[in-house]
Structures are given as C-alpha cells and as structure tokens.
Amino acid sequence: MAADELADLAALLADRSRARFLLALLDGKAWTSGELAAAADVAPSTASEHLTRLVRGGLLVERRQGRHRYVQLIIPRRARLLEDLLAYLGPAAPARPTLAAATADQALRRGRTCYDHLAGRLGVAITDAMTSRGLLTDDLAVTDVGLAWLRDALAFTPPTGRRPLAKACLDWTERRSHLAGAAGAHVCAHLHAEGWVRRVGTGRAVRLTPTGEAALRDLLDVDVSAP
C-alpha cells in the first residue's frame, strides 16, 4: 500500500548517517562503503549496515569490483526527490560556521552537480538563458528550436529510452528550477568534456573556467560567471 511505502521511505531517511550518505551520493558518482563511512564519520561496519538498508529500500544500487563495494543512487528520480526535500527545508543557517564550511557552502551555491545535471546559480543561469532564447518553454520543455540548438551546438542525440528529454528540478539554494532530464545531463556532460567547468575539490561543487565563461557567453549571449 502507498501508506506503507511512504512510511518505509521516511524510515530510511530518518537517520543522520544515511542522510549524509545520500547527500554525498548526489554527485552521481559511485562511492565505496569506506569512503562513505569516512564522509559520515561512522565506523565501516556501521556504514555497511546502513548501506545495506538503503540498497534493500530501493534508493541505492550496489556494484562490486574486486574487494570493493560501490554504491550509487539508483536513478535520477531519487536525486530529484532529495533536492526537493532540501528545497522544502530551506537554507541552512548555522550560528557559527567555520571558514571552511562557509567556503564550501558558497561553492555549492555558485555551481554544483545535482546527480548528472548542473544546479546552483550556474545551472539556473544556463536554464534562464536557454528559456529567454526560446530553446526551452517556461515550464522547461525543449522546443523544436531548442532541440536543433542542442544538436548543432552541443552534439546532442535525443534519448531512445524512457527518460524524459527535459524536466524541471527545483534548486534548493536558488528556489527556482534548473534543467534536468536527458537534455540537462547532456549539457552538464558536454561542459565537463570541453573543460568549461571543473570540479572544486572532491565534492559536488563546480566552477566555470575562463574558457567556459567565454564559450557560454558566445553560445547563449549571457554572462553566467558567478559573483
């Protein structure tokens, strides 16, 4: 029943360590049990128990390679659910943030990956630019002009599977939507492949390179550099 499934999902999320694992996995990458244990500051045995619950609950998929156990969010829809929950909670406002924490928070707000697409001010700015040029509708559906642009400018091939071409994803820091779906994933992958964005450290934060600033200004006629 739906009520039982909802209660089971809530129970999976109602633990700080499991919540930390899921937030770390929003970068779309596969992490080892040991890496997640270190990220959440828990014992490896504790991490293993929590990850087993998340796998059985349908939030994570498990892969094994040699001695290592890797886990990853099972589908992009799970990432959107987590981002929506973060948006509902509102911006965090710690009373005495450390300099390192404040710097990391600002980096995430400037630009980050949300599973496999771009979020933060960078993701929203690109989405706004695409909308203003008629490449996306106001509800972030790809127009015919937009599909042609994606093909010509970013070498995009429309998906043949069940994943939607485009989808609005509520940005938990900007309180507005950014582009998700196959088109959003391709934009993110293309920017990485061209060296237009680079990861900041080992987390989800990304930054535009000078080449990326120039390229996106030429492609979308908008300055998407973060202040």
Q: Which domains does the chain have, with CATH numbers?
A: 2-74 (1.10.10.10), 79-220 (no CATH)
The whole-number pLDDT of residue 90 equals 60
Which tens digit of pLDDT belongs to each residue from 153-180?
999 998 888 889 999 888 878 878 899 9
Pair 166, 183: CB distance under 8 Å: yes
Q: How confident is the model at residue 225 (pLDDT cuts 50, 70, 90)?
A: low
pTM of this structure: 0.65
Q: How confident is the model at residue 202 (pLDDT cuts 50, 70, 90)?
A: low
Q: How many beta carbons lie within 10 A of that of residue 132, not counting itself?
A: 12
The whole-number pLDDT of residue 101 equals 53
Question: Would you state the structure tokens that stand for residue 92, as one six-digit string?
Answer: 């965090």
Q: Which helix (H) or strand (E) holds 60?
A: strand 60-65
CA 171 from centroid of its chain's CA atoms: 10
